[in-house]
Structure 1
Amino acid sequence: MSLGTVAALRRYPVKSLRGEDLERMDVDMRGPVGDRLWALVDAEGKLASGKPTTRFRKVAGLLEHSSRLDGDVPVIEPARGEPVRGDDPDVGTAVESIAGPGWRLAREDRTPHHDASPILLVTSATLARLAEVVGSEVESQRLRPSILVDVSDPPGFVEDAWVGRDLDIGAVRLHVTERCERCVMVNHAQPGGLSHRPEVLKEIGRSNDVCAGVYADVVVPGTLELGATVETV
């Protein structure tokens, strides 16, 4: 059964920074190739994030900065200054300008950088429902999906019903594992006119137990493309 079509594909090469929009996205068993493969890491091994946990250290303003891939090399685009490649000797200076002294860019080692499963799906119906409860548009960039799915369903958190099911998107098969519990990063300002909006997380909490979107694991790798049909198996 067709659920919808792929409306956007996004990859985030450096964890907790903004990412890049793609027309095609290769997926292996780890997830989107190059996605969150790098992170900003402090001297204690904690990862830079918008929230503090035992694993993460909160760093303000991370979403002011962006990342993309050039081949298999991450490129950091600071809010101020020129883009810097991950193999550039000056990358350490760029990282410290973002996170502070003692921070470095590190490639994923034994511990995965993903918060939960490697792929996050969000539907247009969820965005429409959030617009209703918040009172104005909630941009998809706030929810940081890997895959934005355009559906014909009325406003609602329709992807919640996908948990436990397999999805085929072209040659790629995903298994939906759980709902995505949200944190304060959905509130944060971003370039492009996204202002700080504390009501976003508050209304996600009131409307859907602080969840918006669903996580998925990769069952069969392949290439995702814009416009591809999303089907239940």
Structure 2
Amino acid sequence: MPYEETPVGTVRALYRYPVKSTAGQALRTATVTDRGLLHDRRWAVYTGDGGIASGKRTQRFRPVPGLMQWSSSIADASGVPLLVSPGGLRYRADDPAASRALSAAFGQDLMVRPETTIPHHDETPLHLVSTSSLAALSALTGGAVDERRFRPNIVLDTGMLPAFCEDDWIGAELALGDGVVLRLGEGMPRCVMIDQGQAGVPAGTKALKLLGGHHSTEFGLQAYIVRTGTLAVGNVAALRRTPG
């Protein structure tokens, strides 16, 4: 089916979070798979009742405040994350010592596990935000807003496009990188996590309240994978729509 293609920006940053709800890993290149960026949220910390540690409470998730002060990365070809404590201690996620260290740090039984049948992603496999929206929120807060606060996978440099430009992209496709195509979904609902501190990002008090008053407590877009491939910082992003 023919479509119209309009450049809307370039990839400014890529992030993955090898252990869910920990501070993530910035990338120059990333492989996009059917479930999102390779190694993204493949592992998570589980609570004693089988919930997935997060910043909120739902049927799947359990709040474990402070977990974002830990960080995770993929350090070798095994694909097993390396967990780093706020004090700099390092643990492989598959080492029982990692679960023991987390349990001791948070005063409850915690275990690091890979994903099985219960998905670790909150809403969708990918999440993207634009620099236009970051600039708009920065203007509302009166100071620069760190993109890491929103835990995106893809940050698009949208130049002079208007604030919250991605609102008009819902339902379209986005082509970028080495053949990657995404289907853009609804706005990403935000929760208390965006004001919580994480490794390298101090706690804040304004973002969630301001988004509630100015943008329906949403920031960025949910995204689904149409075609897998490779992404790199600097890739051009083009919006695809069917004419009419």
Mark yes or no: TM-score above 0.5: yes
Equivalence for 2:211 = 204
User: Is the contact made by 1:128 and 1:155 (CA closer than 8 Å) also made in structure 2?
Assistant: no
Equivalence for 1:187 = 195
Give the distance between the partners of 1:131 and 1:168, measured in 2 at CA. Answer: 28
Q: CA RMSD in A?
A: 1.3
- TM-score normalised to structure 1 length: 0.95
Q: From 30, 36, 46, give the equivalent of 1:31.
A: 36
Q: From 161, 169, 174, give the equivalent of 2:176.
A: 169
Q: Percent identity?
A: 38
Equivalence for 1:14 = 19
Equivalence for 2:130 = 123
2:56 maps to 1:48: no
Deviation at 1:98, TM superposition (A): 4.2
2:129 maps to 1:150: no
Equivalence for 1:219 = 226
Segments of 5+ residues of structure 1 without an aligned counterpart are: none
Deviation at 1:161, TM superposition (A): 1.3
Give the distance between the partners of 1:177 and 1:205, measured in 2 at CA. Answer: 20
Give the distance between the partners of 2:96 and 2:21, measured in 1 at CA. Answer: 22
Q: From 231, 235, 238, give the equivalent of 1:231.
A: 238
Deviation at 1:155, TM superposition (A): 4.8
1:190-232: CA deviation from partner (whole Å, max 9, x where unpaired): 333x332121100011110000100101110011100000001
1:24-63: CA deviation from partner (whole Å, max 9, x where unpaired): 0001111101101111001211011111222211111111
Counterpart residue identity of residue 228, structure 1:
N
After TM superposition, the runs of 4+ consecutive aligned structure 1 residues lying more than 2 A away are: 97-101
User: Is the contact made by 2:48 and 2:108 (CA closer than 8 Å) also made in structure 1?
Assistant: no
Q: From 97, 116, 119, give the equivalent of 1:112.
A: 119
- TM-score normalised to structure 2 length: 0.91
Counterpart residue identity of residue 76, structure 1:
L
